[in-house]
Chains A and B, each alone.
Chain A
Amino acid sequence: MTFELLLVLAAGLFSTGLFGALSQQSIVMIMMGVELMIGGVIVAAADFWYFLAPAAGSGQVVIVTAVVAMAVEMAMGFAVTTAIYRARQVDMTDMAEDLKG
C-alpha cells in the first residue's frame, strides 16, 4: 500500500504544480509550478525504483535526470525572464502574448 500512497503523493505534487503553471501570470511563479511538477516526478521515480526494480541502477538515473532538468529549467527560465524584462519591462506571460507561436 505504501507504494500506491507514495504514487498518490507524486500525483498530488504534480497536479498542484500543474495548477500553478497553468494559472499563474508571473513567469517566476510558473517556474515554481514546474519545479513542483518535477518534484512529483522525483518521488514517483524513487518509489518505482524502491518497490519495483531496486536492482536496476537506471531507476536512479531517472532521478538524476529530473534534478538536472530542474537546474536547467531554472537557469534558462531566469535567463529568458531577464532578457524579456530588459527588452520591454515584461515579467508576466499575458504581456508577452505576441510571442505565442
Chain B
Amino acid sequence: MDTTGMVLLWVLGVLALVGGVLVFTLNSMARVTFALLGSLVCVGGVVAVLRLPYLGVVIVLMMVMEMVIMAVFMIAYMMNPAGLMPMSMLHNKRGSLVVSGLVFAALVAGIFLVPWPDRTGARPRDTTFQVGMSLMGDQMLTMVTLGFVLLATMVGATVLATHRGRYDRFGDDLDQRPANDPADGGVGR
C-alpha cells in the first residue's frame, strides 16, 4: 500500500464513519438518506482502494440507485412528511447504546487480540477476472443460489407490494381487454 492509498483509506474511512453516525443524528429524512449514501459510497471507495476496482465501482453504482429509491420510500412512509420538524423516533435508546457499545468493544478487543495469520498467496494481476472466474467456476453454486434468491425476491416483493391481482385487471372471467389498470402503460396490454 503506497502513501496515496493510505491517505485515501484514512479519508474514506473517517468519512464513512461520520456519514454512518450522521444517519442517526440528522433530522431531515432526505439528509439522513444521503448521509447513508455518502457513507456507503466511501465503503465502495475503500473496496476500490484495496485493489478491487470492479466491486468498488459496482458498490457505488448500486448504492446510488438504492439510496435514491430509499429516499422516495422514506418520504412516502415517514409520518413527518418532509422531515423538516426536529423530532426523535427512538425507543430504548440507552439499551441500544449499551448493546452496540459492547459489540463494538468486543469486536475491537477481538481485532487486536487474535493472532492473525500472515498473507498467503499472491495478489492476482486482474482482480475483476478473479471474481469472475470464481463466480463462474468453483463458486458456481453460490452464484446460482444468489440468482434464485434474487428471482424469489423480485416475485415476492411484487406480490407483497401490489394489491391488485389478475381478476382486478381482467375482470371476473379474465376476458376484459384491455386490462383495467390505474395507469395506461406503453404497450397497450
Is there direct touching of A and B in the complex, by C-beta distance under 8 Å? yes
Residues of A within 8 A of B82 (CB): none
Residue pair A9, B78 in contact (C-beta under 8 Å) = no
Q: Measured between alpha carbons, how far is A74 from B67 in the docked complex, in Å?
A: 10
Q: Looking at chain B's contact residues, is the secondary structure mostly helix, strand, loop, or mixed?
A: helix
Does B117 reach chain A (CB closer than 8 Å)?
Answer: yes
Does A76 reach chain B (CB closer than 8 Å)?
Answer: yes
Total B residues in contact with A, Cβ cutoff 8 Å: 80
Interface residues on A, range: 35 or more
Q: A6-B13, A18-B103 are in contact. Are A55 and B120 (CB under 8 A)?
A: yes
| Minimum CB–CB distance for B115 against chain A, Å | 12
Residue pair B111, A11 in contact (C-beta under 8 Å) = yes
Q: A15-B101, A15-B103, A22-B99 are in contact. Are A64 and B55 (CB under 8 A)?
A: yes
Residue pair A63, B20 in contact (C-beta under 8 Å) = no
Contact of A83 among B17, B47, B161 (CB under 8 A): B161
Of B146-154, B169-177, B180-188, the one with at least 4 CB within 8 A of chain A? B146-154
Chain A residues with CB under 8 Å of chain B are 2-9, 11-20, 22-29, 31-33, 35-36, 39, 42-43, 46-47, 49-58, 60-61, 63-65, 67-68, 70-72, 74-76, 78-83, 85-86, 91-92, 94
- Enumerate the 7 nearest inter-chain pairs by beta-carbon distance, A residue then B residue, closest first: A55-B121, A57-B134, A23-B96, A15-B104, A79-B157, A22-B96, A11-B107
**Beyond known contacts A46-B55, A74-B70: 9 more, CB 8 A cutoff:** A13-B20, A15-B103, A16-B21, A22-B99, A28-B78, A46-B50, A52-B117, A65-B142, A68-B146
